Amino acid sequence: MSTTNEGEENRHNAIELGVPISSSSFTSSSSDAMKMKNKKNPFGEEKNQSFPEMLMHFLTKTIPSLMSPFQVKLLSVAILVAFFGLFSFVMESANSNAQTYAVIIDAGSTGSRVHVFRFKRASGARVLKDEIFHAIKPGLKAYASDPLEAANTLEPLMETAMKHVPEKLRSSTPLTLRATAGLRLLPEGPEAASALLEASKVKVGEYGFRLDDEYVSILDGMYEGAYGWIAVNYLLRKLSGSVKATKTVAVADLGGGSTQIMYAIGNRDEVNRAPEGYVLPLEGYDVYTKSFKGFGIMAARAKILTQNLDAGEEGWQSHPCAAKGFRGGCTEKCYGLEPGEGYSAIGRDNGGDFEQCVDAALMAMEKDSMECEVEPCSFAGAWTTKRTTPLYGMSYFYERAQAAKAVHWPNSETKAVKITPSDYKNAGKRVCQTHVDSILKEYPDAEEDHFEYLCLDLAYIYALLTKGYGLKDKEPLYLVDKIDYKGQPVEAAWALGDAIAVMNAFLVE
């Protein structure tokens, strides 16, 4: 998530892409995968096939017949990331002045965003020259009952893409539209989500960009997490064969509908004992990757407001997470809740109580939690392992800390902000005691649509960091929104990884 204002365009310049990642970095210990060694011709039976044709046959026919669905997904990530490294040398003989574009639409839970990337080649490497970023609110999920209207909201984003991609290059410019947890958790159900995606696909298809069927999808949380870890570590220059796992950084992302945590594991024994679905091999590193659907800040908010309620006015219940003067609720189709669930809450006369709000957040995190099948677990039944690298936080970790004045904020947009869970706690105590009518006056950076929930959001972040992700009260977290890369501010987001993967997929066509 970016903190860029709605409708604002940002341009970032001259970023060279070319992480030294090779396909040999990715291996599978599965006995099923080892069967491939015994196949006479895994790439296809036709002797006159070109290498790209053989490779596509291998990826789409042979691999699925030999591997489990998770192993196929894992190998897909490996191949996509391997293409990342190929940027630096596969086009060595091409015209050095050639330029290409990629358009990535991020259909998030709270808004939609477009990234327009312009690439050039110089000295044999592909270089990102510009990134145009444009954001709008609300997101597609706000129009769940009207897919056509939802699709029409994308018009300003497409106009931005049309403005910055030359007409002669549009038909060869890939455009992807990836929905995240906003549609994965849509209260109206998967059919409504599919209708939104289909209408959106038709709309963006009217503009003449390259739009393959697989370019419009709901992005799996594993891909979202993997791309996020790669992006941050790449921008911090942590991805290379000479950098040990202990020198990379961990990444925690907090969106509206889901949250992810990713970090490299340096202990081989821990990697071997990990249950399937938790560790991905990324550029020679074994990376713990876990996405928690339903625990983004908006989805968790509804869960918390159903916990720790006191008797109040008729039809209403007071809640420790509600500021004095607050009154709000949801009776049906509540985002983050099961069908039929809802809540109604009012603030207490003596204001919110941060500690009790944290308790409500912890209750929500444990409610209906899956059983921990393999110890140790963090929350929601998820296996975890010890993190030994510093943790970087993105999206709402950054935005809510800034809004609540949790720490002194630097003037530089690319400087990482050092914060601790204790800082969130102290800020939360102040916010929770602020009357709802005074929050925007005291905290002008708070979102107008969500300021009355700032007490709750800070309590949830504190609970998530300490209980969910294992930080101690005084342990530092480094918040980033943009990262300086070779003198340019670059957004720390998964969209760049998607652009790279899609563009390099052309190599096997």
Give the per-residue SS3 of 444-500: CCCCCCCHHHHHHHHHHHHHHHHHHCCCCCCCCEEECCEEEECCEEEECCCHHHHHH
Residue 30 in this model has a pLDDT that exceeds 50: no
Lowest mean pLDDT of 78-92, 298-312, 340-354, name the range: 78-92
Could you give the count of Cα atoms lying within 13 Å of 402 in the half-sphere of its Cβ? 22
Contacts of 336 (CB under 8 A, 6+ apart): 185, 257, 294, 296, 298, 299, 300, 301, 302, 303
Q: What percent of the chain has pLDDT over 70?
A: 76
Residue 179 in this model has a pLDDT that exceeds 80: yes
Residue 211 in this model has a pLDDT that exceeds 90: yes
> How much is the average pLDDT of 178-205?
92
Residue 95 in this model has a pLDDT that exceeds 70: no
CATH superfamily of 297-485: Exopolyphosphatase. Domain 2 (3.30.420.150)
Q: Where are the beta strands (DSSP E) in 250-373?
A: 250-254, 258-265, 279-282, 285-293, 310-311, 317-318, 327-330, 343-346
> How much is the average pLDDT of 217-242?
86
What was the pLDDT predicted at 333?
A: 83
Q: Measure Cα distances from 130 to 95, 101, 370, 481 in Å.
A: 19, 10, 44, 18
Residue 282 in this model has a pLDDT that exceeds 90: no
pLDDT interval class at 78 (50, 70, 90) = low
| Binding-site sequence positions | 256-260
pLDDT interval class at 94 (50, 70, 90) = very low
* Higher pLDDT, residue 77 or 102: 102
Domain with CATH 3.30.420.150 in the chain: 297-485
Residue 271 in this model has a pLDDT that exceeds 70: yes
* Higher pLDDT, residue 326 or 24: 326
Residue 212 in this model has a pLDDT that exceeds 90: yes
Query: What is 9-17+89-219+494-508's CATH number, 2.60.40.150, 3.30.420.40, 2.60.40.1180, 3.20.20.70?
Result: 3.30.420.40
> How much is the average pLDDT of 93-111?
79
Catalytic (active-site) positions: 224
What was the pLDDT predicted at 31?
A: 34
What was the pLDDT predicted at 315?
A: 56
What was the pLDDT predicted at 47?
A: 43
What was the pLDDT predicted at 52?
A: 46
pLDDT digits (tens, 9 = 90+) for 16-27: 444 433 333 333
What was the pLDDT predicted at 214?
A: 92
* Higher pLDDT, residue 243 or 176: 176
What was the pLDDT predicted at 61?
A: 54
What was the pLDDT predicted at 226?
A: 87
Judge contact between 95 and 104, C-beta under 8 A: no
pLDDT interval class at 66 (50, 70, 90) = low
Residue 96 in this model has a pLDDT that exceeds 90: no
pLDDT interval class at 340 (50, 70, 90) = confident
Lowest mean pLDDT of 72-76, 262-266, 324-328, 491-495, name the range: 72-76
**Closest among 411, 407, 409 to 420, alpha carbons compared:** 407
Backbone angles phi and psi of 506, in degrees to 5: -60, -20
What was the pLDDT predicted at 416?
A: 97
> How much is the average pLDDT of 300-325?
81
Q: What percent of the chain has pLDDT over 90?
A: 54
pLDDT interval class at 318 (50, 70, 90) = confident
> How much is the average pLDDT of 359-368?
89
Tokens of 118: 């312009």
Tokens of 445: 């950076």
Residue 407 in this model has a pLDDT that exceeds 70: yes
What was the pLDDT predicted at 184?
A: 84
What was the pLDDT predicted at 125?
A: 54
| Binding-site sequence positions for ATP | 256-260
* Higher pLDDT, residue 473 or 246: 473
Domain with CATH 3.30.420.40 in the chain: 9-17+89-219+494-508
The per-residue b/e assignment along 82-100, b for 16 or more CB within 10 angstroms, e otherwise, is bbbbbbbeebeeeeeeeeb
pLDDT interval class at 126 (50, 70, 90) = low
What was the pLDDT predicted at 305?
A: 92
> How much is the average pLDDT of 109-138?
81
How far, in Å, CA of 294 to CA of 316, rounded?
25
Tokens of 241: 């064969």
> How much is the average pLDDT of 189-212?
96
**Closest among 382, 323, 369 to 348, alpha carbons compared:** 323
**Closest among 27, 23, 63 to 44, alpha carbons compared:** 63
- First-last CA distance in the chain: 32
pLDDT digits (tens, 9 = 90+) for 418-447: 999 999 999 999 999 999 999 999 999 999
> Between the ranges 157-166, 178-187, 335-344, where is the mean pLDDT highest?
157-166
DSSP for 377-390, please give it.
B-STT-B-----S-
Mean pLDDT of the chain: 82
**Helix, strand, coil share (%) of the chain residues, nearest 5:** 40, 20, 40
Residue 58 in this model has a pLDDT that exceeds 70: no
How far, in Å, CA of 344 to CA of 437, rounded?
19
